[in-house]
Amino acid sequence: MRILGIESSCDETAAAVVADGREILSSVVASQIDIHQKYGGVVPELASREHLRQIVPVVREALAQAGMKLTDVDAIGVTQGPGLVGALLVGITYGKTLAQALGKPLVPVNHLEGHVHAVFLEAHRAGRTAKLPAVCLIVSGGHTVLYEVTPADPNMQDAGARLLYRKIGQTRDDAAGEAYDKVAKLLGLGYPGGPILDRLAAVSNGAPAPVKFGPTKMKGNLLDFSFSGLKTAVLYHVREHPEYAAEIATREAALQRGERKFEQLLPLCSPKTLALVQEFQNAVVRDLVERTMRAAEDLSVESVLVSGGVAANSQLRATFEERSKSSGIEVFFPSRALSTDNAAMIAAAAYSRFRNGILADVTLNADPSLTLA
């Protein structure tokens, strides 16, 4: 069964064809980073307009790469939410129209469930199986949330299985990716912040941290996260130390000239800035890994799944791998391409939904705050 997946919840227009929920036949992503970069974040109005321009060519390209015609598609899966309403509406309207015109089933997909399936897609490609029950950390620019994932029927763990989700923790303020983006912005390192901070931290070479960020203490649910205090701590540190101001201004000028690459920004960073970035990343990674592994141990799950844009982070991946070895709980990540928003994960999630009779009709509408559990 070949499902065409369509994703337009934020700033990526994506389409993909996935066979039987696990074989990626094609996956095309048109990123809008270039458009939003100069504003330092996603501008919803511009995102919707760009989705409108991209949706038709992106779907065509996904079909061409899969060697298929529209009529070969067995069903269409489309992101219903969560996300930006105007952005979602572009994919939903296009998906609905295709389904109507072709007389094919339309499957509504929760974007977060898509991120969970991104892990299964990658595991399948690597010839591994992520055994359930699992704890899943979804960590992106919009979300930082922990779920317990169990199969509705313990004997059914294939691509079509119905999965049950229980939310066991979430951020009380900023998402981890949002913290990366805000810290990069205040340091004059551009948008999005994650990839550049990841690379700068990797070359800090163990320089002593100019400030120490301790673990975030949470009252109530110990599996909840909070990143806004950390972001504010970086801000205060930078304000209290005027020596950062000149290099930040130099980098902001470089960004203005369009010099946003790692190689261009690295020479404009002092060792102290690199060490600050490393300390920020240590704090984020420690928090994400500690709470996720605590949940996995408390619930005695078989595996840990990590997905979403921040799952592309090298230090996060390395730290989870280490903890996996010491705890004996297997950890699974999507490839970097499947970590960030894509439509293969939407088509994969659509397969399981379709198998379980979850279908939509022409009344399908965008749900900007759709939850998974």
Residue ranges binding ligand KG4 (CB under 6 A): 10, 140-142, 177, 180-181, 192-195, 198, 308-310, 312-313, 340-341
Using the CB atoms, write b or e for 214-231: b if 16+ within 10 Å: eebeeeeeebbbbbeebb
CB 332 → ligand KG4: shortest distance, Å?
A: 16
Q: Given the complex with ligand KG4, which of 133 and 342 has the nearer CB atom? A: 342
194 binds, among Zn ion, ligand KG4, none (CB under 5 to 8 A by kind): ligand KG4
Q: Given the complex with Zn ion, which of 112 and 234 has the nearer CB atom? A: 112
| Cβ-based burial of 240 (10 A; exposed 0-12, middle 13-18, buried ≥19) | exposed
Omega before 133 cis (within 30°)? yes
CB of 141 within 8 A of CB of 111? no
307 binds, among Zn ion, ligand KG4, none (CB under 5 to 8 A by kind): none
Q: Given the complex with ligand KG4, which of 99 and 118 has the nearer CB atom? A: 118
CB 41 → ligand KG4: shortest distance, Å?
A: 9
Tokens coding 122: 């990658």
340 binds, among Zn ion, ligand KG4, none (CB under 5 to 8 A by kind): ligand KG4
CB 78 → ligand KG4: shortest distance, Å?
A: 16
For helices 314-327 and 193-202, what crossing angle results, to 10°?
70
Report H helices in 257-365: 262-265, 271-298, 314-327, 336-339, 344-355
Q: Given the complex with Zn ion, which of 47 and 234 has the nearer CB atom? A: 47
193 binds, among ligand KG4, Zn ion, none (CB under 5 to 8 A by kind): ligand KG4
- Name the residue among 306, 297, 324, 292 with its Cα closest to residue 123: 306
Which of these ranges, 151-159, 170-178, 241-249, 339-347, lies near Zn ion under the rule CB under 5 A? Answer: 339-347
Residue 341 touching Zn ion (CB under 5 A) = yes
77 binds, among Zn ion, ligand KG4, none (CB under 5 to 8 A by kind): none
174 binds, among Zn ion, ligand KG4, none (CB under 5 to 8 A by kind): none
CB of 330 within 8 A of CB of 47? no
CB of 286 within 8 A of CB of 244? no
CB 27 → ligand KG4: shortest distance, Å?
A: 14
Of 110-169, binders to Zn ion (CB under 5 A) are: 140
Residues 335, 337, 342, 347: is their CA dihedral positive or negative? negative
Beta strands in the chain (DSSP E): 2-7, 12-19, 23-31, 75-81, 106-110, 134-139, 144-151, 163-170, 303-307, 330-332
Q: Given the complex with Zn ion, which of 14 and 196 has the nearer CB atom? A: 14
Q: Given the complex with ligand KG4, which of 150 and 314 has the nearer CB atom? A: 314
Q: What is the CA radius of gyration of the chain?
A: 21
CB 139 → ligand KG4: shortest distance, Å?
A: 8
CB 342 → Zn ion: shortest distance, Å?
A: 9
CB of 189 within 8 A of CB of 251? yes
148 binds, among ligand KG4, Zn ion, none (CB under 5 to 8 A by kind): none
CB 140 → Zn ion: shortest distance, Å?
A: 5
Q: Given the complex with ligand KG4, which of 311 and 350 has the nearer CB atom? A: 311
Tokens coding 48: 């919707």
List residues binding Zn ion (CB under 5 A). 140, 341
